[in-house]
């Protein structure tokens, strides 16, 4: 998993690419720590470039949401496609996150 | 090792060059691979990367280096081999040994054995599934589901099994950090990190595919089967996988005290492939059999008459003889019928239903269950007029039915029709087989137009470059070709060609152009001028409507430039091996063979010690991938950058991109796929000093 972050108008946008699976905990940790310093009111995770996610990856998204709740940051999942979209549907993530196309 | 008359089974082992011979010898001697290694004999074929092994050679085992990377994981799809073992000294397989040749177990179609340490950081599930697709074990359609299930099971076996991590309880960010750190510690430790994880796959005769994942942890008690697919549960990050697996697979079972998980998949497409292959093998067998019998005219056919009353047998025989059928065999009951079929392999069977020992229904069933006789015409004869018996005999596999008392004309007519059908099918099969073998020959010839790995690696080395290439032919013949043209001590020419269309015509054109390229000693010219000459020749040779795209370029190591000309070739990529940044070069130009006096511009770009070049055929960017889309320009750029940043300078760029492409492309490509990379490199002395060990 790779990512690039961008801040504009109180919104942090993180573009995540590659596979997002159990082995990616350290990159994900770095991501969360980096974003925490931004103090943004919205965190957009652009996952259009993620081509595979497993249940551990979903777990990490939930952690991001928990983190967001602590700092009053809304977490948005943007652009899920293919297998990722399917997994989000199966896990009913629409009830937990704001999903955008 | 005894010399001379060695009767032991011989095995060719593909070996990563970086693995020490002693380590392999120790591993084999330990009985981890074959239980009794002294009963087999070995030869080793070394390779720097999986690219170096010919697809035309069959390997029993592939020994991968310790701490394998993505390059060697790619061996799973590249090598003609079904057992892949990471060679790490601490490996202790225990009850999982030996990996191959266990007579008590059915033969596996794929086995991959890795250390936990390596497996943890690699996309193992993805590559495993790609390999299953390429081997025809599963269809493209179910691959995404299989991958999801394998990924979850694999993660479970690694994390809970081998690493013994407890991910239960509420997962906070702090706990997550702790877990992450503990994971790193355990991966580095000699107890957990060196445990093996083994993935296997095998296809059953009924088309189902069985995948097992085996770990060396302490075992795992599967939770309640009725657990629902509640991924939003907060008590664990990793424990959510099992319900997901259950929702995808046909069945999930645990063995070895929870240290082996077995997943069963039912693939509709797979079911179709299996009997087909059996059928072709069967046809081959029967073709040879019938050629001996000289089944040119129906009357030469061998007919088995199975009937328990001698009078009936004689009546049938006399009817058949009267019409010229003299090659007759007889059976007096059901068991005898099966014995006679096995002894004579008849072209047609006339079978009575009511017979002692074994009735006609059972004979039909038994014959149809054997692929050798699955298609032999069977005419059942019966006095039964009731519908039930008639339906049943067809259900059991009879080709046709004839009522007793027999009518001579009807018997002869039915016999002839079924023999003719059989003959036609056989002729058609024979024709297809011949065409197939000729196509196979043409494919091999075409593949040989491209440089072999040892050649381009050597040439690359001479010019201070790391060259990598992957070529995969489409399901039919194709029109791709590439090559290297050494000009002088510091200039190396490179070309890539794609003829329009595919099939025999395109293949013939590649042969034409190949001989043109190698007969014209003009490589010294500017690339633009060279393409102009080539175009004029080709225009004279090619029928109207046929054309080729081509790029010819020269890497000049002294002037540090790449000059090239393109005839509508895909835009070449020029990048930096340190930053991974790359840009598309101008690939525009008139295709070859369209107009006689086409002009080609020679373009020049810097190519220095940190540069790389990527050339590719349009299949890379015009194949529909698993997301239903082509690989976009931006996506290819980011894929390149990620690959360079992850792998550093010490990777085969073309091979890595090809591997990622194959993960997402259909198993059968509609067009030839060629990708070539030239990376400026300081070749390490260790590699350049390596003597040629190929045996």
Query: For chain B, what are the domain ranges?
Result: 10-267, 274-431, 449-680
Q: Tally the residues of chain B.
A: 695
Contact B384, B365 (CB under 8 A): no
pLDDT band at B88 (very low <50, low <70, confident <90, very high): confident
Strands of the sheet containing B465-472, edge to edge, are B465-472, B673-680, B611-616, B573-576, B582-584
For residues B624 and B618, what is the distance between their CA atoms, to the nearest angstrom?
12
Residue B241 near chain A (CB below 8 Å): yes
Distances (CA, A) of B246 to B34, B190, B199, B423, B626: 34, 33, 18, 48, 23
CB contact under 8 A, B144 and A83: yes
**pLDDT (tens digit per residue) in B628-643:** 889 999 999 999 998 9
Nearest to B180 among A2, A25, A67 (CB): A25
**Residue B265 near residue B250, CB atoms below 8 Å:** yes
Q: Do A29 and B144 touch (CB under 8 A)?
A: no
CA atoms within 13 A on the CB side of B491: 16
The residue of chain B with its CA nearest to that of A81 is B627
Q: Is the peptide bond before B405 cis (omega within 30 degrees of 0)?
A: yes
Q: What pLDDT shows up at residue A100?
A: 92
Residue B522: per-residue pLDDT: 60
Confidence of residue B387 (pLDDT cuts 50, 70, 90): low
B649-691 residue pLDDT tens: 678 999 999 999 999 999 888 888 999 999 998 644 334 444 4
Any CB–CB contact under 8 A between B158 and chain A?
yes
Q: Where does the pLDDT of residue B231 fall: very low under 50, low under 70, confident under 90, or very high at 90 and above? A: very low
pLDDT of amino acid B280? 33
Distance CA B320, CA A8 (A): 92
Q: Which residues of A touch B229 (CB under 8 A)?
A: 90
Interface contact A67, partner B, CB < 8 A = yes
A55 → closest Cβ in B158, B244, B638: B244
Question: What ranges in chain A are assigned the alpha helix state H?
Answer: 25-36, 55-70, 82-90
Of the candidate ranges B323-332, B485-494, B505-514, the one whose mean pLDDT is the lowest: B505-514
Q: Give the pLDDT mean for B8-25.
A: 90
Q: Does the interface ipTM go beyond 0.85?
A: yes
**Residue B520 confidence class, pLDDT cut points 50, 70, 90:** low
A–B: how many Cβ contacts below 8 A? 88
- Please report, in angstroms and rounded to a whole number, the separation of the first and last CA atoms in chain B: 17
Q: What angle do CA B164, B166, B169 make, to 5 degrees?
A: 175
Cα–Cα distance between B54 and B44 in angstroms, integer?
A: 14
Among the partner residues B147, B627, B642, nearest to A18 by beta-carbon distance: B642
**pLDDT recorded at residue B169:** 64
Chain A residues 7-66 with CB within 8 Å of chain B:
17-19, 21-23, 25-26, 29, 32, 49, 51-52, 54-56, 58-60, 62-63, 66
Q: In angstroms, rounded to a whole number, what is the distance separating the alpha carbons of residues A54 and B250?
A: 20
**DSSP symbols for B160-214:** IIIS-----S---HHHHHHHHHHHHHHHHSTTTTT-EEEEEEEE-TTS-EEEEEE
pLDDT at position B629: 86
Phi then psi dihedrals of residue B364, to 5 deg: -55, -50
pLDDT tops 70 at residue B272: no
pLDDT, residue B295, reads 46
CA distance A22 to chain B (A): 7
In this complex, the residue of A51, A54, A63 whose CB is nearest that of residue B151 is A54
User: Would you call B236 and A59 a contact, using CB atoms and an 8 Å cutoff?
Assistant: yes
Mean pLDDT for the stretch of residues B605-624 = 94
Q: What percent of chain B has pLDDT over 70?
A: 87
Q: For residue B282, is pLDDT > 70?
A: no
Residue range B150-194, pLDDT digits in tens: 999 999 899 889 998 887 666 788 888 888 899 999 999 989 999
pTM (two decimals): 0.73
Given this model, what pLDDT does residue B166 score? 80
Instruction: Tell me the pLDDT tens digit for each residue of B359-385.
Output: 999 999 999 888 888 888 999 987 766
Hey, CA dihedral for B101, B104, B106, B112, is it positive or negative?
Answer: negative
Cross-chain Cβ contact A66/B238 below 8 Å: no
Instruction: Please state which of the ranges B283-292, B394-403, B485-494 shows the lowest mean pLDDT.
Output: B283-292
Contacts of A23 in chain B (CB under 8 A): 120-121
Separation in Å, CA of B260 to nearest CA in chain A:
20
Taking an 8 Å cut-off on Cβ atoms, the answer to whether B120 and A52 are in contact is no
Q: Note the pLDDT of residue B233.
A: 44
> What is the pairing mode between strands B582-584 and B573-576?
antiparallel
Per-residue pLDDT at B656:
94
Residue B148: closest C-alpha in chain A: A54
Q: Would strands B251-255 and B260-265 be described as parallel, antiparallel, or unpaired? A: antiparallel
Domains with residue ranges and CATH for chain A: 2-100 (3.30.750.24)
Q: What is the pLDDT of residue B473?
A: 82
Please answer yes or no on whether B184 and A26 come within 8 Å at the CB atom: yes
**DSSP track, B532-593:** HHHHHHHHHHSPTT--EEEEEEEEETTTTEEEEEEESPPPPEEEETTT--EEEPP---PPBT
Using CA coordinates, name the residue in chain B closest to A64.
B173
- 3-state DSSP call for residue B426? helix
Q: In chain B, count of helices (H) and strands (E)? A: 20, 24
User: What confidence tier does B335 reach under pLDDT thresholds 50, 70, 90?
Assistant: very high
Q: Looking at B40-54, B96-110, B127-141, B292-306, which range is the least confident one?
A: B292-306
Residue to substitute from A1, A3, A22, interface B, most B β-carbons within 10 A: A22
Interface test with B, best of A19, A20, A56 (most B CBs within 10 A): A56
Q: Is B443's pLDDT higher than 80?
A: no
CATH no. for B274-431: 3.40.50.2300
Q: Which of B180, B231, B626 sits opposite A55 (nearest CB)?
A: B231
Fold of B10-267: Heat Shock Protein 90 (3.30.565)
Decide if A1 touches B, using CB distance below 8 A. no
Do A54 and B148 lie within an 8 Å CB cutoff? yes
Mean pLDDT of chain B: 84
Distance from CA of B637 to the nearest CA of A (A): 13
Confidence of residue B605 (pLDDT cuts 50, 70, 90): very high
Residue B246, C-beta contacts closer than 8 angstroms, at least 6 positions apart = B225, B252
The reported pLDDT for the residue numbered B363 is 92
Which helix (H) or strand (E) segment holds residue B291: the answer is: helix B268-293
Of B237, B628, B664, the CB nearest to A56: B237
Residue B283 pLDDT > 50: no
Position B688 scores a pLDDT of 41
- Report the chain A residue with the minimal C-alpha distance to residue B233: A59
CA B391, B397, B402, B406 dihedral sign is: negative
State the Cα–Cα distance between residues B540 and B538, nearest whole angstrom: 5
CA distance to partner chain B, nearest, from residue A45 (Å): 18
CA angle B117, B659, B456 (to 5 degrees): 110
Contact (CB<8Å) A60/B237 = yes
By C-alpha distance, which of B79, B3, B69, B89 is closest to B47? B79
Secondary structure element (H or E) that encloses residue B10, with its range: strand B10-16
User: When comparing pLDDT for B237 and A54, which is higher?
Assistant: A54
pLDDT at residue B275 in the model: 33
Q: How far is CA B310 from CA A24, B314, B315, B320, B332, in A?
A: 78, 6, 9, 15, 8
Predicted local confidence at residue B682, as pLDDT: 64
* Predicted pLDDT at B675: 97
The pLDDT value recorded for residue B296 is: 53
Mean pLDDT of A30-40: 89
Question: Does residue B6 surpass a pLDDT of 90?
Answer: no
What integer pLDDT is reported at residue B234 of this predicted model?
A: 44
Determine the residue of chain A that is closest to B116 in CA distance.
Answer: A23
Using alpha carbons, select from B405, B429, B157 the residue that is nearest to residue B290: B429
First-to-last C-alpha distance (Å) of chain A: 21
Chain A partners of B238 at a C-beta cutoff of 8 Å?
Answer: 22, 55-56, 59
CATH architecture of the domain covering B449-680: 4-Layer Sandwich (3.60)
Phi and psi for A45 in degrees, rounded to 5?
A: -95, 105
The whole-angstrom distance between A46's CA and the closest CA on chain B is: 15
- pLDDT > 90: what percent of chain B? 42
Q: In what helix (H) or strand (E) does residue A45 lie, and over which residues does it extend? A: strand A42-53
**Cis-peptide, bond into residue B98, ω within 30° of zero:** yes
Closest by CA to B48, choosing from B555, B695, B686, is: B686
Tens-digit pLDDT profile for residues A71-87: 889 999 999 988 899 88
Which residues of chain A are within 8 Å of residue B158 when distances are taken between CB atoms? 22
In this predicted structure, what is the pLDDT of residue B276? 34
Out of B147, B183, B240, whose CB is closest to A59? B240
Q: How far apart are CA B570 and CA B269, in angstroms?
A: 34
Q: How would residue B110 be classed by pLDDT, with cut points 50, 70 and 90?
A: very high
Looking at CA atoms only, how far is residue A90 from chain B in angstroms?
8
pLDDT of residue A37: 85
């Amino acid at each position: 998993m790779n990512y690039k972050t961008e801040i504009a108008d109180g919104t942090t946008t993180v573009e995540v690419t590659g596979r997002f699976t159990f082995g990616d905990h350290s990159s994900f940790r770095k991501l969360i720590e980096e974003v925490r310093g931004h103090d943004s009111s919205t965190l957009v995770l652009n996952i259009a470039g993620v081509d595979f996610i497993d249940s551990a990856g979903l777990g990490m998204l939930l952690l991001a949401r928990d983190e967001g709740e602590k700092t009053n940051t809304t977490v948005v999942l943007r652009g899920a496609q293919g297998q990722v979209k399917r997994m989000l549907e199966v896990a009913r993530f629409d009830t937990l996150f704001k999903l955008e196309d | 090792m005894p010399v001379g008359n060695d009767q032991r089974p011989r095995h060719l082992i593909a070996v990563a060059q970086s693995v020490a011979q002693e380590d392999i010898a120790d591993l084999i001697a330990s009985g981890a691979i074959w239980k009794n290694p002294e009963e087999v004999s070995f030869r080793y074929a070394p390779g720097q990367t999986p690219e170096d092994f010919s697809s035309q050679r069959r390997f029993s085992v592939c020994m991968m280096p310790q701490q394998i990377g993505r390059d060697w994981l790619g061996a799973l799809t590249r090598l003609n081999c079904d057992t892949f073992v990471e060679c790490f000294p601490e490996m202790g397989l225990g009850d999982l040994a030996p990996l191959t040749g266990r007579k008590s177990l059915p033969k596996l179609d794929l086995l991959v054995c890795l250390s936990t340490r390596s497996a943890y950081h690699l996309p193992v599930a993805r590559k495993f599934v790609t390999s299953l697709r390429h081997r025809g074990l599963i269809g493209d359609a179910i691959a995404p589901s299989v991958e999801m299930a394998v990924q979850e099971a694999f993660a479970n076996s690694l994390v809970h099994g081998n690493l013994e991590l407890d991910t239960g309880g509420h997962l906070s960010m702090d706990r997550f950090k702790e877990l992450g750190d503990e994971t790193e510690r355990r991966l580095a430790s000699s107890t957990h990190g060196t445990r093996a994880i083994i993935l296997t796959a095998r296809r059953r005769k009924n088309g189902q595919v069985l995948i097992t994942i085996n770990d060396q942890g302490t075992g795992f008690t599967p939770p309640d089967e009725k657990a629902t697919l509640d991924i939003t549960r907060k008590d664990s990050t990793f424990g959510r996988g099992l319900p997901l697996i259950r929702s995808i697979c046909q069945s999930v079972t645990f063995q070895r005290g929870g240290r082996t998980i077995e997943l069963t998949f039912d693939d509709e497409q797979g079911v179709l492939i299996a009997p087909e292959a059996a059928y072709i093998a069967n046809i081959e067998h029967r073709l040879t059999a019938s050629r001996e019998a000289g089944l040119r005219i129906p009357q030469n056919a061998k007919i088995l008459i199975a009937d328990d009353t001698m009078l009936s047998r004689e009546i049938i025989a006399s009817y058949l003889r009267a019409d010229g059928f003299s090659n007759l065999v007889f059976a007096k009951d059901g068991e005898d019928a099966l014995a006679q079929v096995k002894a004579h392999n008849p072209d047609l069977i006339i079978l009575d239903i009511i017979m002692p020992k074994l009735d006609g229904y059972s004979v039909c069933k038994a014959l149809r269950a054997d692929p050798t006789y699955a298609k032999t015409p069977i005419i059942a004869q019966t006095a039964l007029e009731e519908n039930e018996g008639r339906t049943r005999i067809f259900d059991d596999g009879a080709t046709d039915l004839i009522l007793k008392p027999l009518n001579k004309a009807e018997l002869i007519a039915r016999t002839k029709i079924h023999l003719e059908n059989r003959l036609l099918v056989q002729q058609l099969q024979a024709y297809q087989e011949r065409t197939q073998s000729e196509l196979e020959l043409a494919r091999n010839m075409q593949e040989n137009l491209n440089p072999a790995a040892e050649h381009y690696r050597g040439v690359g080395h001479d010019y201070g470059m790391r060259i990598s290439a992957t070529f995969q032919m489409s399901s039919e013949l194709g029109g791709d070709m590439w090559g290297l043209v050494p000009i002088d001590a510091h200039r190396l020419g490179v070309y890539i060609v794609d003829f329009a269309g595919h099939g025999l015509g395109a293949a013939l054109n590649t042969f034409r152009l190949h001989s043109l390229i190698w007969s014209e000693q003009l490589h010294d010219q500017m690339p633009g001028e060279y393409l102009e000459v080539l175009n004029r020749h080709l225009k004279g040779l090619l029928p109207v409507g046929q054309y080729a795209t081509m790029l010819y370029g020269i890497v000049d190591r002294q002037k540090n430039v790449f000059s090239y000309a393109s005839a509508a070739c895909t835009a070449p990529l020029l990048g930096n091996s340190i930053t991974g940044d790359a840009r598309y070069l101008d690939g525009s130009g008139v295709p070859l063979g369209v107009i006689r006096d086409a002009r080609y511009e020679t373009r020049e770009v810097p190519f220095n010690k940190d540069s790389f070049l990527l050339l590719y055929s349009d299949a890379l960017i015009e194949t529909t991938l698993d997301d239903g889309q082509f690989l976009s320009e931006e996506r290819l750029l980011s894929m390149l950058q990620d690959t360079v940043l992850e792998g550093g300078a010490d990777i085969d760029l073309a091979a890595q991109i090809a591997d990622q492409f194959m993960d997402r492309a259909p198993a059968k490509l509609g067009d030839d796929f060629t990708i070539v990379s030239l990376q400026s490199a300081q070749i390490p002395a260790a590699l350049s000093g390596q003597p040629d060990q190929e045996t």
